[in-house]
Structure 1
Amino acid sequence: MASRIRLEDRECPLSTTVQHVGEWWTLLILHDAFDGYTRFDQFQQSLNISTSMLTARLKTLVADGLLERRPYQTNPVRHEYVLTERGRSLRPVIVALAAWGNQHLAPEERSMVLVDAATGEEAEPVVVDARTGRRLDDSEAFVFTAGPAAGPGMRARYAELGRDRREPAARPHI
């Protein structure tokens, strides 16, 4: 698949992530994988997706290291698609997207909700800073800034926004 990343965004983690998971079918396939689907026919039936589109999306997910293709039958050979560790690490993102969608619906309009598996109580997903436990949806308290690998364009972007708040790494004394 041709890259859709603009030249100036190549070092932006959001742009590179969207290249991997931003396609409509990709997110839905991953959602099904989180629900335990592993086989081609399960994905196809659940999503009502064409064979060619599903084949292409699964190949991309395998190439990107999000799914692993494993044989589950030898005669004839059949494969299943299992989430890798990298793929499983996307679950919070999928949960957050679904929660955002539900947040804008009346409770009776929600076709799917996240619940505690033990109690059945509806969960209220939020994204928090692991170090402090503070919610990250406060755009005044948490902002992006240039990271250590940022190139001149990224550094200029955040300098213009007045967000060059990170202290440079301490240099060792020789």
Structure 2
Amino acid sequence: MNENNVTPQTLCPVARAETVVGDRWTVLILRELFMRSHRFEEIQAQTEATPQMIAARLKKLEADGLVERRSYNKRPLRYEYHLTEKGEAFYPVVLALRAWGETWFKSPEEGRAVHYTHRSCGKPAGLGPVCEGCGQTLRHDDLIVEPDPAYQAERQERWEAFKASR
């Protein structure tokens, strides 16, 4: 094992990265962390994964250094999950998946699920990886996130359904 907890069976960086983030649930958990959902229940509701799947992926992401747990309640003990610097560095991948999905898996009349405004220039950021307005590389903290009303309603429906099932 090396310092990143990856067994170096190949020199291919794509194969090595895939061992950490190469399944649907892990990528969706990371999406939720970028959407500022930090609590287990929020992540579970929006990914629609089982608690066991979420727990296993969060533990692996923590072991791999992408996520850190922070206590927010002592009795009972509860944690929030936050991205580390290494986790934040995954953001360009999320932007690339978003751009690919917006381009190839949606009809034009659906519109974008999320609109980003670049804080630096105040203009729409576009699909990335650089701002359409000013050409700067997009970073997660530099963006104002505005979900489309339909997407916001979809997320709210998932949250309400999750709460009702408990």
- Fold conserved between structures, TM > 0.5: yes
Deviations 1:90-136 (A, max 9, x none): 00110111101111133223451342155573513247xxxxx9xxx
Identify the match of residue 124 of structure 2 among 114, 118, 121. Answer: 121
- Partners of 1:66 and 1:86 within 8 A in 2: yes
Q: Is the 8 A contact 1:29 1:43 kept in 2?
A: yes
Aligned-pair RMSD on alpha carbons? 2.5
Corresponding position of 1:51: 51
Gaps of 5+ in 1: 128-132, 134-174
CA distance in 2 between counterparts of 1:44 and 1:111 reads 23
Partners of 2:20 and 2:64 within 8 A in 1: yes
Q: Identify the residue that residue 102 of structure 2 maps to in structure 1.
A: 102
What residue number does 1:154 align with?
none
Q: Which has the higher strand share?
A: 2
* Residue aligning to 1:145: none
Specify the alignment match of 2:79 in structure 1: 79
- Aligned-partner residue type, residue 126 of structure 2: A
Give the Cα separation in 2 of the matches to 1:108 and 1:87.
33
CA contact (8 A) 2:40 2:80 kept: yes
Distance 2:111 2:125 in 1: 12
Find the aligned partners of 1:115 and 1:39 in 2 and give their Cα distance. 23
Over 3 Å counting, the alpha-carbon distance change for 1:110 and 1:18 in structure 2 is farther
Task: Tell me which residue corresponds to 2:156.
Answer: none
Once superposed, which parts of structure 1, at least 4 consecutive aligned residues long, lie more than 6 Å away? Answer: none
Q: Judging changes above 3 Å, is the alpha-carbon distance between structure 1 residues 91 and 126 closer, same or farther for their aligned structure 2 residues?
A: closer
Task: Give, in whole Å, the separation in 2 of the partners of 1:100 and 1:110.
Answer: 14
Q: Percent sequence identity over matched residues?
A: 39
Give SS of 1:19's match. Answer: helix
CA positional deviation for 1:68: 0.3
- Amino acid in structure 2 at the alignment position of 1:121: P
Give ranges in structure 2 of 5+ residues lacking alignment: 1-6, 131-135, 137-166
RCO (CA 8 Å, sep 6+): is it higher in 1 or 2?
Answer: 2
Q: Quick check: which has more Rg, 1 or 2?
A: 1
Aligned to 1:26: 26
Q: Distance in 2 between matches of 1:100 and 1:60?
A: 26
Aligned match of 1:12:
12
TM-score by length of 1: 0.63
